[in-house]
Each structure stands twice: as structure tokens, then as C-alpha cells.
Amino acid sequence: MSFWYYETFEGETRYGCLVSEVVFSGASDYQKVELLDTVHYGRALVLDGVFQTSEREEHFYHEMLVQPAMVCAPRIERVLVIGGGDGGAAREILRHPQVEEVLMVEIDAVVVEACKEHLPGMGAWDDPRLELIIGDGIGFVRETDRGPFDAIFVDGCDPVGPAVDLFGSEFYDDCARILANDGVCAFQTESPILQRDVFTGIYRRLSGAFPRVHPYFGPAPLYASDLWSWTLASRNVDHLSMREDRLATVEPGCKYYNRDIHRAAFAVPSYLKADLDAGG
């Protein structure tokens, strides 16, 4: 029997999906993990009661997290992903033939195994260029000697529980340290509507670690606010530069991202521009 599954945000807003079946329900050392068959979005991943991704709308999020950085970075041979246990970010990265190595550090093995089994089309788990490490991404970035990386992607959950420190100044400093001099980082940076203060705080902390910080925006239909933000950070990379050879490779297969979206996404809404100009 179908039922409504609701995500409630801070007791103020609620988002619901009609669910036809609970495909998987389990608990890791970090969180409750569920995979639900929703009527509208297909199979969806839910962590601690919060919708994360689904079959029919994941392209909005994963293409926007990954492709702007992959298209403007000078080099993309060595790539690091922190988080991203559903596999979607690594899949988007691996669409580029120039990529030689993707190192993915995900803290929760239960999420990875559940997604491999129940969302197999989301990732590119069999690509030999992908190396998966189950471990703490924060500690990895702090301690690794495997850099520098041409691109770093941080695909973490909301800033609660084990993901809190993914949004801290120390973590951002560590990302900058292991990034190549002409490398690019891309971070998911929360809802600029429901989490406006969180978004501006992230911008402020990133600006303390990187000379160039550029937020950008797009839809995320599964998330309660719909409008989502990501941020590119680098030392010297032009965020509006786009390499035609890479666009030619990925644009035809993208459902949302293209060169026009790339340019438009970096337009900052007026109410946020006032916040950012004032230092958050």
C-alpha cells in the first residue's frame, strides 16, 4: 500500500513524496539509510529522514556539482571526491576521458553498498579509474600525501552529525593545501533559501581559504527549497571559461547542464548579493 513519506526541516517546512515500497531500510554507525520507491521520482535515497537523491531528478544535482568545474579546470587528470556515496558525482567525473584517476573517500559503507545494489545505474562503480576508500574524508584531506589533485569535489550531507566539519575553515584550508596550483574545488553549499545563513557562512569561510570563490545556483527538485547552491573555489581559475573539447564530450549526454546554464548559474540573486557584498 502506498504511503506519504515526509521530510521536515527545523519544524518549519515539510516536503513529501508518495512512496509505493520501502526497498531497503538499515542503520550504519552514522545514520539511518533508506531506499524508497517513490511514485514521481523513482527510487530515492534517504538518510536520517532527509531526501538525498533519486533516479529521475539526480541529474540536476550531480551535473551541476561536477560539470562546471570539470569544464573550466585547466587539468582534470587526478580528481578527489569526498562523500558522494550514491556514486553520481564520480559517474559524472568519469564521463571525461582525460580523467586518469578518481579517488573517492566515503565514510559510510552501508550507503555505498545499498546504492550499488538498489541504485546500480547511479554510479560507475566498475570503471577501473575509480578507487574507493571507506573512511573519514576530513581526516583523509588533513593527512594525505597523495596530492596535489586537479579537481576536488565535496559531496557531503547537510552540516549535521559526521558532516559538520566538512563545512569548517580547517577543512577548507586542507582542501586548498592538497589542490594543484591551478586546480578547482567544487562544494555543495546548501539551500540559499532555507539555509541562507549557512550559505553565507560557507562563502565567508571559503573566501578565507581561496582567492577566488564563486557560488552558483540551480534546481534540486527533491529538496524542499528546490533552489540549491554549489560553489567553485580556486586560486586563479576563470569560472566562466569553458573548454570546447570537454563541452563537446559531455554536453550531448547531459539532461540539464550546458554552456548556457554554466554562464547563467553564476548570476547571484540580489538578496544574496547584498549578503555576500556585506561579508555574509
d(CA 214, CA 34): 33
Q: Which CATH architecture has domain 3-54?
A: Roll (2.30)
Return the domain boundaries, the chain: 3-54, 58-277
Report the pLDDT averaged over residues 249-255: 98
d(CA 17, CA 230): 24
DSSP assignments along 100-169, one per residue: -EEEEEES-HHHHHHHHHH-TTT--TT-TTEEEEES-HHHHHHH--S--EEEEEEE---SSGGGGGGGSH
Same fold, 3-54 and 58-277: no
Choose, from 86, 150, 155, 174, the residue flagged as catalytic.
155
Residue 108 a catalytic site member: no
pLDDT digits (tens, 9 = 90+) for 59-76: 999 999 999 999 999 999
DSSP assignments along 30-85, one per residue: S-EEEEEEETTTEEEEEETTEEEEETTTHHHHHHHHHHHHHHH-S--SEEEEEE-T
Output the pLDDT for position 160. Answer: 72
pTM above 0.85, yes or no: yes
As a whole number, the mean pLDDT across the chain is 96
Report the pLDDT averaged over residues 209-225: 96
Collapsed DSSP state (helix, strand, coil) of residue 15: strand
Q: Which fold has domain 58-277?
A: Rossmann fold (3.40.50)
pLDDT more than 90, % of the chain: 91
| Residue 280: pLDDT band with limits 50, 70, 90 | very low
